[in-house]
A = this chain, B = another copy of it.
Amino acid sequence: MPDRPRRIPEATVTRLPIYLRILSELGGERGATVSSERLAELAGVNAAKVRKDLSYLGSYGTRGVGYEVEYLLFQVSRELGLTQDWPVVIVGVGNLGRALADYAGFTSRGFPVVALIDDDRSKIGTEHVGLTVQPVADLPRVVVERAVTIGVVATPPGAAQEVTDRLVSAGVTAILNFAPTVLTVPEGVSLRKVDLALELQILSFYQQHRESAPSASPARRT
């Protein structure tokens, strides 16, 4: 009996999706294996890190051989909770919100977009990718009826916290924030952010310090 209940470090969690992607690209025939060395190369990280990361999931490799791609793929998927769908609602149907709604990778990878929300009069009732834009007031009903667990916030910064509060009180327990604002959520709600301006400013820092400090560059792989 494998001993499951290890606590997976946050840093490891952020890398699991990368391994997942690489494994699914490797695909290959049944029984194909991959070494930690090779996986590490493809993921742009250290091989020991790959082994330690994977060891948190269990002992899924074979000494002297490596990891069976298909089996490991399944185990990583399961650990990430990707054996089920997680319906998503997108709030804010501006340029970014629409681009996100269009993004096929969302739905195809287990995150079906089931509703679009916006309080702009001129947008309510319009259609995108087969969905009718609904007002914020519809959130409680939509969240319950469509079993929404993840809310994507793509509103202007001024509206983001209020929208988040509404999502949370409607029952959403995970938020992905694209608005350039610091959000606060209650204990127990997961929060991740994607901030374009912030990423550019980080790059700007390293540009700025390029001449003065020749090797002051950030991580070389993604």
Contact = CB atoms under 8 A, between A and B. Distances in A.
A170 interface: no
Contacts of A124: none
Within the oligomer, what is the number of copies of this chain?
2
Most buried by B among A79, A86, A100, A206: A206
A136 interface: no
Interface of A is mostly: mixed
A80 B188 contact: no
A184 interface: yes
A14 B201 CA distance: 9
B110 A204 contact: yes
B99 A205 contact: no
A217 B86 CA distance: 17
A189 B215 CA distance: 10
A155 interface: no
A221 B164 CA distance: 12
A81 B42 contact: no
Contact of A200 (B95, B176, B196, B203): B176
A133 to B, nearest CB: 17
B203 A176 contact: yes
A173 interface: yes
A193 B11 CA distance: 16
User: Which 4 pairs from chain A and chain B are nearest by CB?
Assistant: A81-B208, A193-B222, A99-B99, A17-B201
